Amino acid sequence: MTEMSGADMVVQALVDLGVDTVFGYPGGAVLPIYDALFNHPTIKHVLVRHEQAATHAAEGYSRSTGKPGVVLVTSGPGATNAVTGITDALLDSIPMIVLTGQVPTNLIGTDAFQECDTVGITRHCTKHNYLVMDPDRLGAIMHEAFYIATHGRPGPVVIDIPKNVQVATGKYRVPEKIEHQSYRPQVEPDADAIAAAIDMIAAAERPIFYTGGGVINAGPDASAALRQLVSLTGAPVTSTLMGLGAFPSDDPKWLGMLGMHGTYESNMAMNRADLIIAVGARFDDRVTGRLDAFSPDSKKIHIDIDRSSINKIVPVDLAIVGDAGRALDALTAAWQDKGHKPRDLGEWWRRIDGWRATRCLDFPEKKDAAADIMPQRAVKALFDATRGRDPIITTEVGQHQMWAAQHFGFSAPNRWLTSGGLGTMGYGFPAAVGAQIAHPGRLVICIAGEASLQMNIQEMGTVSQYRLPVKIFILNNEWMGMVRQWQELTYESRYSNSYSDSLPDFVKLAAAYGWTGLRIDTLGELEAGIQAMIDTPGPVIVDCRVAKLANCFPMIPSGAAHTDMILQPNDITGTMDDEAKALV
Amino acid sequence: MKIKTEAGERHVLAVTVDNEAGILAKITGLFSARGYNIESLTVADISADHALSRITIVTSGPPAVIDQIIAQLDRLVPVHQVTDLTDHGAHVEREIALVKVAGTGDKRIEALRMADVFRAKVVDTTLTSFIFEITGTSDKVDRFIALMRECGLVEVGRTGVVAIGRGAEAL
Ligand SMILES: Cc1ncc(C[n+]2csc(CCOP(=O)(O)OP(=O)(O)O)c2C)c(N)n1
Ligand SMILES: [Mg+2]
């Protein structure tokens, strides 16, 4: 127990908690902490260009390493700028600590300069938050906050620290046992439930694993456990957008992503299954489609660390509360103990192969060198060119995100960083910055839309400053393509404000920031262009011009059932009833 | 297009929480953010060291929603325990109201007579008014207030429901 300033305590706690990187932006209310960080020997501070980017960079850092991301911002506008990323982390269950400066305690509530009610504003977009009024409590709160952010279902925790609390001295205590006095998420699955699950799996004729981001959050061991259980049971696997990478995409048991832009085979298999084993997935509306038609004939097992996710949307037959990895391990052990052999699922697989035969991800394209590049082709080419390099892929939000999810294959977790729950345009580029900071030697590529990229494009400066070799690959269709697609589907192609007008010249922009800028216009240039991007050291922006009006299929229109997929563009009518229009 | 709502049943929840700043905002915010009903909410510090508060919430919703409300409350970091007293077995519910009635003559006499029937206490009086204190279930308090409307009711303050399970065991 040592006497030190609040600011020193913050930094000491970060050191004690093993933090090596902080993403932030200074301001009046955090100057004491910035001073304590000055020339710090072990903590690297990454200066972003906008606080929202600090939060997404921290998410990228976290998602690619499994460690919590740390953010440091000032009071008022610094804190409010961070809110989008905090909410993003809440919805995607990313462990994150956000340290915000606050006006001194004697000025709180007086509308002081750069005062905002940070704990009030972030109360419902954090897992937990604190306003620290007493420097003696600061050390314990820092440790507790890390515990809360990383235990149970992970999420963002805000610690709001008034400036006088940073300056005043207090006693820094590392709690003997770092935990929260009452928050004890259930990690170990119930043994009876595991046994019941095994009986259900062993008896199923048409089982399917439906996995989500929880498997990624549970760490690489959980992905390994999933692979083992799948190989023991012989059942097919589908996953949510957030779960990609937990199961290898080149495995024959992989059906592809499910849901609104998922594959025909995974959605049909979910619909016709007699048993769904949901692992760390939460039956999101993008996944279920029309609820009363969702997998009508199946029993459902739901494994989740968050009890409130169970029965929230879809009632299940068997709930297993606990860590996804532990539950998968327990299932594997129980399967082996009981001496189960995989059932003959031949009939089930024959039906699945029938659905696969629709080749739902195929797309029409011209093959000559001067042809327009289909965006799907660009993603496939990027995947082919980077195979064996184990790249980390981030995306922005829109059609390009879905095409990346459909056509880029992943064989390991923590390589796919995307904003799933909140769907935040502006996530992908800063997330790539965070991932690259954590993995300096790796190939990190942001697959971007030209509209989304502009939401945090100022981070080009951050990349230049830290000499990060981030690659941005823009699928430039000159449209907010996803919005245009919905307008075609629902509003008879009245393209209200969805055209990306007045785009910058991305190649010149690259030059302005000291990056390399490349442009790809035709199919004939695609492979060489991608290779040039990979071979060019340092940051590269690729303005890859793609077919402007391509749409993303397959698609389950909002309010439709899994069995009502639109497979081809000509299935579109351009109108929709009000019930469907009212869905997001 | 019409927006549909589902009918629900009334449940009384007892929630034990850390007695920290902002906890009430956290709980009520959860209800408003997720569109749950609050019919009444009471809160007070209940432990010797002032570390814990007990919140009694009366809410209503279909069974699946009640189940979600409990799960959502339970996952909040400062929440220690959530009990659905309605499902838990028999429990006692009480509410206190202070009811001010003004008037003279027959109405005044009638008010006093009814207060007696309801076992309401007179806690303040002037020549032209009474304040009654009534304790009971919300139903009883409702009925008393309805009668007082006929007898010169001018003001009401109610505490909302507190509730506790019957028998020797604690939650
Ligand atoms: C911050 C934010 N604002 C608005 C939206 C709604 N939105 C979803 S996709 C999209 C268009 C994205 O355009 P672009 O980045 O060019 O991607 P494309 O769909 O063309 O691939 C919009 C506006 C959003 N997801 N996030
Ligand atoms: Mg676009």
B26-51: pLDDT as tens digits:
999 999 999 999 999 999 999 999 99
For residue B72, list chain A residues with Cβ-Cβ distance below 8 A: 308
CA-nearest residue to A147 within chain B is B77
CA-nearest residue to A316 within chain B is B64
CATH number of A191-356: 3.40.50.1220
pLDDT of residue B133: 98
Q: Kindly give the distance from the C-alpha atom of residue A449 to the centroid of ligand 2, in angstroms, as a whole number.
A: 4
Residue A173, pLDDT > 90, answer no
Average pLDDT score, chain A: 96
A51 classed as catalytic: yes
Tell me, what amino acid is at A118? Answer: T
Contacts with A111 (C-beta within 8 Å, 6 or more apart), sequence order: none
Average pLDDT score, chain B: 94
Q: Quick one: average pLDDT of A60-64?
A: 98
* Residues composing chain A: 584
Q: Kindly give the distance from the C-alpha atom of residue A542 to the centroid of ligand 2, in angstroms, as a whole number.
A: 14
Q: Where are the alpha helices (DSSP H) in A426-522?
A: 428-438, 450-453, 460-465, 481-490, 506-512
Dist CA B13 CA B36 (whole Å):
13
Contacts with A559 (C-beta within 8 Å, 6 or more apart), sequence order: A289, A290, A579, A580, A583
| pLDDT band with cut points at 50, 70 and 90 for residue A571 | low
| pLDDT band with cut points at 50, 70 and 90 for residue B2 | confident
Residue A559, pLDDT > 90, answer no
CA-nearest residue to B1 within chain A is A578
* Residues composing chain B: 171
pLDDT of residue A572: 64
- A 10 A CB-CB count for A79 gives 28
Q: Kindly give the distance from the C-alpha atom of residue A490 to the centroid of ligand 2, in angstroms, as a whole number.
A: 19
Dist CA A119 CA A106 (whole Å):
17
Matching fold, domains B9-88 and B91-164: yes
Residue A584, pLDDT > 70, answer no
CATH number of B91-164: 3.30.70.1150
- Superfamily of domain covering A2-172: Thiamin diphosphate (ThDP)-binding fold, Pyr/PP domains (3.40.50.970)
A186-235: pLDDT as tens digits:
999 999 999 999 999 999 999 999 999 999 999 999 999 999 999 999 99
Half-sphere exposure of A545 (CA within 13 A, CB side): 15
DSSP sequence for A33-73: HHHHHTT-SSPEEEE-SSHHHHHHHHHHHHHHHSSPEEEEE
Dist CA A580 CA A205 (whole Å):
34
pLDDT of residue A2: 85
B75 to A306: CB separation less than 8 angstroms, yes or no: yes
In the three-class reduction of DSSP (H, G, I as helix; E, B as strand; rest coil), residue A417 is classed as: strand
Dist CA A518 CA A540 (whole Å):
7
pLDDT of residue A1: 73
Percent above pLDDT 70 for chain A: 99
**Residue A51, token pair as written in the block:** 């606080």
Please tell me what DSSP assigns to residue A107: G
* CB of A27 sitting under 6 A from ligand 1: no
Give the gap in angstroms from C-alpha B55 to the nearest C-alpha of chain A: 17
Interface of A with B (CB under 8 A): 119-120, 123-124, 127-129, 131, 148, 152-153, 180-183, 306-308, 310-312, 315, 578-579, 582
- A 10 A CB-CB count for B124 gives 11
Q: Quick one: average pLDDT of A89-108?
A: 98
CATH number of A375-545: 3.40.50.970
A365-374: pLDDT as tens digits:
999 999 999 9
Q: Quick one: average pLDDT of B122-128?
A: 97
Ligand minimally distant from the alpha carbon of residue A403: 1
Ligand minimally distant from the alpha carbon of residue A453: 1
Catalytic hit among A4, A9, A51, A376: A51
Q: Kindly give the distance from the C-alpha atom of residue A317 to the centroid of ligand 2, in angstroms, as a whole number.
A: 42
Among A375, A361, A376, smallest CA distance to A568 is for: A361
Residue A77, pLDDT > 90, answer yes
pLDDT of residue A558: 81
Q: Quick one: average pLDDT of A43-64?
A: 98
Neighbours of ion ligand 2 (CB under 5 A): A 449-450, 477, 481
* CB of A450 sitting under 6 A from ligand 1: yes
Nearest to B26 among A123, A182, A578 (CB): A123
Q: Whose CA is nearest to atom 2 of ligand 1?
A: A425
Q: Where are the domains of chain B?
A: 9-88, 91-164
Residue A574, pLDDT > 70, answer no
Q: Quick one: average pLDDT of A266-292?
A: 96
Residue A412, pLDDT > 80, answer yes
Dist CA A70 CA A54 (whole Å):
9
Q: Kindly give the distance from the C-alpha atom of residue B108 to the centroid of ligand 2, in angstroms, as a whole number.
A: 76
Total-model pTM: 0.95
A341-361: pLDDT as tens digits:
888 999 999 999 999 999 999
For residue A312, list chain B residues with Cβ-Cβ distance below 8 A: 68, 71
Matching fold, domains A2-172 and A191-356: yes
A487-521: pLDDT as tens digits:
998 899 999 999 999 999 999 999 999 999 999 99
Q: Quick one: average pLDDT of B5-23?
A: 91
Give the gap in angstroms from C-alpha A182 to the nearest C-alpha of chain B: 6
Dist CA B33 CA A247 (whole Å):
35
Q: Whose CA is nearest to atom 20 of ligand 1?
A: A481
Nearest to A308 among B21, B71, B77 (CB): B71
Dist CA A73 CA A48 (whole Å):
10
Q: Where are the domains of chain A?
A: 2-172, 191-356, 375-545
Residue pair A243/A223 in contact (Cβ under 8 Å)? The answer is no
A459-469: pLDDT as tens digits:
999 999 999 99
For residue A131, list chain B residues with Cβ-Cβ distance below 8 A: 21-22
As assigned by CATH, the class of the B9-88 domain is alpha beta
| pLDDT band with cut points at 50, 70 and 90 for residue B7 | confident
Residue A573, pLDDT > 70, answer no
Q: Quick one: average pLDDT of B100-107?
A: 95
| pLDDT band with cut points at 50, 70 and 90 for residue A168 | very high
Catalytic hit among A9, A374, A460, A482: A482
* CB of A479 sitting under 6 A from ligand 1: yes
* CB of A399 sitting under 6 A from ligand 1: yes
* Cα A125 from chain centroid (whole Å): 16
CA dihedral A523, A527, A532, A535 (to 10 degrees): 160
Percent above pLDDT 90 for chain A: 92
DSSP sequence for A350-413: HHHHHHHTT-TT------STTSPBPHHHHHHHHHHHHTTS--EEEE-SSHHHHHHHHHS--SST
Residue B3, pLDDT > 90, answer no
Element (H, E) at A126: none
Nearest to A123 among B18, B22, B68 (CB): B22
Residue B5, pLDDT > 80, answer no
**Residue A553, token pair as written in the block:** 């299929």
Q: Looking at the DSSP assignment, which residues form a beta bridge with residue A517? A: A541
| Predicted-complex ipTM score | 0.87
Residue A175, pLDDT > 90, answer no
Please tell me what DSSP assigns to residue A251: S
